[in-house]
Structure 1
Amino acid sequence: MKYAIVIPDGCADEPQESLGGKTPLQAAKTPAMDAIARAGVVGRANNVPLHLPAGSDVANLSLFGYDPNVYFTGRAPLEAAAQGIQLGPEDWAIRCNLVTVQDQTMKSFTAGHISSEEAKALLISAQKELGADNLEFVPGVSYRNLLLFRGAKVKAPFSKETRATPPHDLTDKSVANDLPSGPGSEILNSLMGFSRPLFANHPVNQRRLAAGKLPATNLWLWGLGKTPSLTPFFELHQKRGKMITAVDLLRGLAALIGWDRIEVPGATGYLDTNYAAKGQYAIDALDSTDVICVHVEATDEASHEGRVDAKIAALEAIDEQIVAPLHAALKQYGDYRILVSPDHPTPCRTKTHSHGFVPLAICGTGVTADAATTYDEVAAAASPLSFEEGWKMMAHFLGARD
């Protein structure tokens, strides 16, 4: 049996007045996803318990079959794993965004989608001026970077009670009341504060301003935690897996559950990602794995920008260039199953992740078709197939029989 998973990140949404009361998923032309719905079943899953943050970290743990109440320790450790960073038992990884905060308002949680080269230059300056033997700034991809607190000699003051707001939750909002709080927060706030004068006249920002781009005004620290101990996916499900993604969070999760990672040329983690190449690389990987997963960040990025049109365009590209060819290739193998599901909702109205159910569609061997004819939030809400604990869905997808 071959299995394929397609994750259009954050594609679940609300009805839009501009779309005549339809959601982006309803408005988009997605014949391949709808074909899966007609051939199989549509349902829904709640991947993020209300007491945990509504982020891709918690949601994707659930989606892959890991109870977040047991396994979730924070976002940054997953991203550290993507870079092959080894964390000791007393080490903490902290997500380190480059952001644009002006007049105490989060203008951009990506610093205008700053380039990786520019980000690296800023992080080098941060390490030189703000780093220490136990504080290490690690450049990542674009605005997504890390800070490591090595706690072997100086024990980290952080705990599960340390609170830090994801910057994407604050788009166009005041940041004044959402600075880190709780144990160790004074370290985070101090570093964030000192980064402002450090970056103010930095050559990177001078060049960005001259080019009419947003500057990276400061660091924003959040998502901290220790490395989780995840049971290998093969041990849980007796299936081997491979991951295609442009996002370190998913790369890290793949590494921690024992999946191979496939790097695709032109995969950017943004709206300009190479959809067709992702689809082709997924097809090429079918011979060498049991499960191939294609994660696409573009739909989530469109939501963070509040761009309904861009979200629809991304959904249609995913449908045409990934879902359709991958489903056709799977059929050549005989026994197969395919799953389409986002991790969490990201409404264009709020421009941030939210709690709540996401729609899923499954078809293939052993799946008896239900009455659904389209893949969208409304069809999912009408279905009796519902996973209140979203982490139980993966076992159903991989092993359930009618």
Structure 2
Amino acid sequence: MTKVLMLVADGMGDWPLKELGGKTPLQEAWTPNMDLLASRSRVGVCQTIPDNMPPGSDIANMALMGYDPKKHHTGRGPIEAVAKGIETGPEDLVWRCNLVSLTGLESGAKMVDYSAGHIPTDKAGPLISGLQKELGSSEFTFHTGVQYRHLIVQKQGSRTRGSRVFIRPPHDILDQVIDPDLEMFRTYPPLWELVRASADILKRDGRDVRADSIWPWGQGKTLSLPVFRSRFGISGAVISAVDLIKGLGRAAGLAAPDVPGATGLVDTNYQAKVQAARDVLEKEDFVFVHLEGPDECGHMGHIADKVEAIARFDRLIVGPLLEFLRGRDYIMVICCDHLTPIKIRTHARDPVPFLVYDSKKELEGPEVFSEVQAARTGLTIEKGHDLLAFALE
């Protein structure tokens, strides 16, 4: 049976930067493995973000897994709840809850850091547990996640105004005034009081870290996806450090093993991710490997780190998997979910570059893999959820 791999470097795509002589980080990075594959692959661009939907990783990765976000997406929170095994009722709301750094909760306050300094889980966990102990109720419950990423479940929340509150993703508003969001919080007093009370508790308990507020956003009702095997005739697993990808995988009936040392940052345990993917492919036919590092570097505005994250993706993920697959029949898709341009430090809805390599049917493609070369081929997949089917065909 032909093995199928989808390797996703989150946020890898970018715009040309004057600091790199007009090149993108992908063009600047040393990527001999992706370049070699591109020269033997179908290469093009894919629109992973549907019209009238925000360019988020939740929407983009749902599409890459073959599911139409317009039909299936309910919010970011519910996806991560699946990853944590949190049972929710059909009328419950699940909020993604970041630990963040703000200049305050008064008029003119700004979003300083969407990740509270990339707070480690061993520091974040006690803070969230403390919030649950003091503020948890029959309506709102706090659930610990990874690093800065946590959840709040609101019982029967879809019947409240909470379902109509739109709070901007914190990574979209770095260094920006948060007045529109504070006003939106105030329109729903139960949530506003939760935010205010949490800030008071974090100022007391989080003095040795940069977490001084929670940021509830991305709420939605319980997620339900058709089974992946029934759609594509194959099954396997997702490999990722983040609950977002694990939740999408588990909701689709795919395995989502925990990978030791997977951090979602540039220093993640690449070897463990590759080994996890190899273990899956020894028994199953499909693996979705997700690397968060390039996206985090884009949000932080770190050019050199993003270039290095892309180079490591090529050297430590793509290269070892190609060696493992030597002599086997396989299809490999390489892409990013969305662009995270250094210039804006958040997501962009531009089409993403992709390559599809089939070991049984090598083609002639561009000499390098980049945003520019992918766009020049003229091949465009208009809907992101069609890319996997395109690759399998």
Q: Are residues 1:74 and 2:75 paired? A: yes
With over 3 angstroms needed to count, the CA separation of the structure-2 counterparts of 1:266 and 1:54, relative to structure 1, is same
Contact persistence 2:3–2:285 (CA under 8 A): yes
* Letter matched to residue 163 of structure 1: F
Match of 1:131 among 128, 136, 147: 136
| CA pair 182-98 structure 1, distance change in 2 beyond 3 A | closer
Alignment of 1:5 with 2:6, yes or no, is yes
1:226 equivalent in alignment to 2:221: yes
The two structures have a TM-score, normalised by structure 2, of 0.94
Alignment of 1:1-400 (within 5 A): 1-102=2-103, 104-151=109-156, 155-159=159-163, 161-179=164-182, 181=184, 185-202=188-205, 205-208=206-209, 215-333=210-328, 335-365=329-359, 367-398=361-392, 400=393
Structure 2: any 5+ residue segments left out of the alignment? Answer: none
What do the CA deviations read for 1:226-271 (whole angstroms, capped 9, x no partner)? 1222111111101102111000000100100010112222111112
The alpha carbon displacement at 1:277 in A equals 2.2
TM-score, L = length of structure 1: 0.92
RMSD: 1.8
Equivalent-residue separation in structure 1 for 2:129 and 2:260 (angstroms):
27
Shift of 1:341: 0.7
1:157–1:183 contact (8 Å) kept in structure 2: no
CA-to-aligned-CA distance 1:198-237 (integer Å, 9 cap, x gap): 22222xx2233xxxxxx21111000100122211111110
Tell me the number of residue pairs that the alignment of Structure 1 and Structure 2 aligns.
388
Provide the rounded CA distance (Å) in 1 between the counterparts of 2:183 and 2:241.
Answer: 28
Identity %, equivalent residues: 39
Q: 1:262 and 1:64 mapped to 2: Cα distance?
A: 17
SS of residue in 1 equivalent to 2:208: helix
Q: Secondary structure at the match of 1:145?
A: strand
Asked if structure 2 preserves the Cα contact closer than 8 Å seen for 1:43 and 1:359, the reply is: yes
* C-alpha separation in 2, matches of 1:105 and 1:181: 15
- Is the alpha carbon distance of 1:179 and 1:357 closer, same or farther for their aligned partners in structure 2, counting shifts above 3 Å? farther
Kept in 2, the 8 Å contact 1:164–1:180? The answer is: no
Measure, in 1, the Cα distance between the counterparts of 2:186 and 2:229.
37
Q: Quick check: 2:186–2:192 contact (8 Å CA) kept in 1?
A: no
Instruction: Return the alpha-carbon distance in structure 2 between the equivalents of residues 241 and 158 of structure 1.
Output: 36
The amino acid of 1:348's aligned partner reads I
Alpha carbons 1:91, 1:156 under 8 Å: kept = no
What is the rounded CA distance, in whole Å, between the counterparts of 1:42 and 1:162 in structure 2? 40
**SS of aligned partner of 2:229:** helix
SS in structure 2 at match of 1:272: coil
Shift in Å, 1:183: 11
